[in-house]
Chain A
Amino acid sequence: MKKDVKKYLLTAVAAVLLLAFPLLVDNLYIQHSFFMIFLFATIGLGWNLIGGYGAQLSLGHAAFFAVGAYTAVLFVIYQSLTPLIGGLVGVVIAVAVAGLIGYPCFRLRGPYFTLATIAAGEIVRTLLLHFQDFTGGANGIPLPYKGDNFLFLQFSSKAPYYYLALAMFVVVFFLVRYLEHAKMGRYLAAIREDQDAAESLGVQTHKVKMFALLISAAITAACGVLYAFSVSFIDPDSVAGLNLSIEIAVVVIVGGIGTLWGPVIGSVVVIFLTEMTNLYLGDIRSGASLVLYGLLLILVISIRPQGLSSFFRRN
């Protein structure tokens, strides 16, 4: 009983602090960092559905992120369509792409899914580079400024993006928390443990994995939309690169794969370190961040293979 009260009090304090954060800290850089933490925590929660709970390692989630980001941005540019709708179209396309990857791969065992996700990421990136008249190619594409306008997810301050990321995080967190203990989570756990045994109990493993992947892709694409509008500029390397796919996986693996809090803790650590390297090693950034992910992975896996969240677990 007392423990419950303490838990609710802590939650309430955390909620108030998170809501008041942009009022308390007006440094734009720090506000953006917190936006990134919630954004990556959300993507990580989504990635974890298939990569963690389902144990199907994806190294191509940037594909879904990029499809969401580019679709929403291109609809604004060519159709002046609000990203609230354009983003939804992006999510649907990302889900379709996920279906194309999952359908053949989830009937096979072995590394095929991982390989296919890497390929999908590269295909999306290559297509974005190839159709440069339409997408801006390697130069990327800036978002036309439409003034402070919720319909176009454009704001004169950083705070609204922070709140949107926070809201998305909260929704996805509770969705994943629900799914983890629902039928889908139980089936994914069975698949992770022993696929043959799971099938002998009537679990249609390819369907369950597919369902997890589709939800995962949808979440990632939605995050891509929000990201694109918060930075007002996207290019293939930053939203469709293998770097991003790896960063997403590293966030979850470092934090604790297959756990609810893993992506959250992983995001705090990885984003903090990434922003630090950006700050101090800006010139050689892209190389530096990959080295950083590598070192971080080695460190965590050698000390705490279950990820950092296991430090917080009772018993």
Chain B
Amino acid sequence: MGAILEVKNLKKSFGGIQALKDVSFDVAEGEILGLIGPNGSGKSTFVNTVCGLYRPDGGQVALRGKNITGLEPAMVARAGIARTFQASRPFLNLTVLDNVIVSALLDETLVDAAEKNARQAIEVAGLSQYINTKSCNLPVEKRKRLDLCRALALKPSLLMLDEVMAGLNPKEMEDGLDLVRAINRQGVTVIFIEHVMKAVVSLCHRVVVFDQGCMLADGEPHAVMQDERVVKAYLGGSYKPC
């Protein structure tokens, strides 16, 4: 299948720090793409720049051939890209249901209809038992799940997950991976940022490795993990062989 997202020569600096030096790659329609790299290698900056939260210093981003470079975040979301924040950002004083209703309102004018869709997304995300909990009372990993649930309720064609599995125990991690697989089976393309390599290898069809704002490798997960440069730059330090 063709590319859903085409990124060409994307650049983003903060003062003297080149967080994205010159990044180009395509994301294929329907795949789960793993995006890995050491801390500070530019993964979150990539998400934020594609989503319009940061204005790129150069380069292009196209979604299904349509140029979305520099669009404001709301327009990127409306074009079909949903994202989670690495440090989750629920609407703290709203309940889980009210949080998700906000995103379900993208496709609906009436709150009742949005609520129906929101309840479905909450069920899928496994948050039903917290549906009426104010999100400030959720533990961190549930907040991340809520972020994911809100993104899901947008019915995106591309979903970017920035370390949504952090802080989960192995069992919860398995459930989380199953959830991402299920979402993907619904036809949603996924960019999956994660530090636990086992999760990346078991979930992703393909992996892109960032290092210091550059792309270091791009390929099939097992092959990438054995790439010498990757091992040296990244896995040498924090590879968890479990």
Residues of A within 8 Å of B94, CB to CB, are: 189-190, 193
Chain-B contact segment, one of A114-122, A199-207, A269-277, A292-300: A199-207
Q: Are A200 and B111 in contact (CB under 8 A)?
A: no
Task: Render A128-159 as a binary contact track against B, CB cut-off 8 A, 1 for contact.
Answer: 00000000000000000000000000000000
Known: A181-B111, A202-B78, A202-B103. A189 touches B73 (CB 8 A): no
Known: A193-B94, A197-B90, A205-B74. A182 touches B102 (CB 8 A): no
Q: Are A186 and B74 in contact (CB under 8 A)?
A: no
Q: Are B74 and A190 in contact (CB under 8 A)?
A: no
**B91 interface residue (CB < 8 Å to A):** yes
Known: A200-B83, A201-B106, A203-B74. A186 touches B101 (CB 8 A): yes
Q: Are A203 and B102 in contact (CB under 8 A)?
A: yes
Q: Are B98 and A196 in contact (CB under 8 A)?
A: no
Known: A189-B98, A196-B53, A200-B83. A183 touches B74 (CB 8 A): no
Choice from B77, B85, B111, B151 contacting A186 with Cβ under 8 Å: B111
**A283 interface residue (CB < 8 Å to B):** no
Q: Are B91 and A199 in contact (CB under 8 A)?
A: no
Considering residues B91, B101, B110, B114, which has the most beta carbons from chain A within 10 angstroms of its beta carbon?
B91
Residues of A within 8 Å of B51, CB to CB, are: 200
Q: Are A201 and B150 in contact (CB under 8 A)?
A: yes
Residues of B within 8 Å of A183, CB to CB, are: 105, 109-111, 114
Residues of B within 8 Å of A229, CB to CB, are: none
**B72 interface residue (CB < 8 Å to A):** yes
Known: A183-B111, A186-B105, A186-B111. A199 touches B74 (CB 8 A): yes
How many chain A residues touch B (Cβ–Cβ < 8 Å)?
19
**B223 interface residue (CB < 8 Å to A):** no
Residues of A within 8 Å of B105, CB to CB, are: 183, 186-187
Known: A186-B105, A198-B102, A201-B154. A193 touches B73 (CB 8 A): no
B102 to chain A, nearest CB (A): 5
Residues 51-105 (chain B) with a chain A CB within 8 angstroms:
51, 53, 72-75, 77-78, 82-83, 85, 89-94, 98, 101-103, 105
Q: Are A197 and B111 in contact (CB under 8 A)?
A: no
Residues of A within 8 Å of B109, CB to CB, are: 183
Q: Is the interface of A mostly helix, strand, loop or mixed?
A: helix
Task: Render B37-61 as a binary contact track against A, CB cut-off 8 A, 1 for contact.
Answer: 0000000000000010100000000
Q: Are A201 and B89 in contact (CB under 8 A)?
A: no
Among residues of A, the one whose C-beta sits closest to the C-beta of B83 is A200
Considering residues B74, B93, B101, B106, which has the most beta carbons from chain A within 10 angstroms of its beta carbon?
B74
Q: Are B73 and A190 in contact (CB under 8 A)?
A: no
Choice from B93, B102, B110 contacting A201 with Cβ under 8 Å: B102
Q: Are B102 and A196 in contact (CB under 8 A)?
A: no
**A4 interface residue (CB < 8 Å to B):** no
Q: Are A186 and B72 in contact (CB under 8 A)?
A: no
Choice from A189, A202, A204, A205 contacting B91 with Cβ under 8 Å: A189
Task: Render A170-210 as a binary contact track against B, CB cut-off 8 A, 1 for contact.
Answer: 00000000000111001101100110111111111100000
Q: Are B154 and A202 in contact (CB under 8 A)?
A: yes
A158 to chain B, nearest CB (A): 41
Residues of A within 8 Å of B77, CB to CB, are: 199-202
Q: Are B102 and A190 in contact (CB under 8 A)?
A: yes
Q: How far is the CA of A85 from the CA of B106 in the complex (A)?
A: 37
Residues of B within 8 Å of A186, CB to CB, are: 98, 101-102, 105, 111
Q: How far is the CA of A181 from the CA of B110 in the complex (A)?
A: 10
Among residues of A, the one whose C-beta sits closest to the C-beta of B147 is A197
Q: How far is the CA of A288 from the CA of B103 in the complex (A)?
A: 48
Q: Are A196 and B89 in contact (CB under 8 A)?
A: yes
Task: Render A220-253 as a binary contact track against B, CB cut-off 8 A, 1 for contact.
Answer: 0000000000000000000000000000000000
Residues of B within 8 Å of A205, CB to CB, are: 74
Q: Name 10 A/B residue pairs within 8 A (Cβ), A-sorted.
A: A181-B111, A183-B110, A186-B111, A190-B91, A193-B91, A194-B91, A200-B51, A200-B85, A201-B106, A201-B154
List 10 additional contacts besides A183-B110, A186-B98, A200-B73; criterion CB under 8 Å: A183-B109, A186-B105, A189-B91, A190-B91, A190-B102, A193-B91, A193-B93, A194-B90, A200-B51, A202-B78
Q: Which positions in A face B, CB cutoff 8 Å? A: 181-183, 186-187, 189-190, 193-194, 196-205
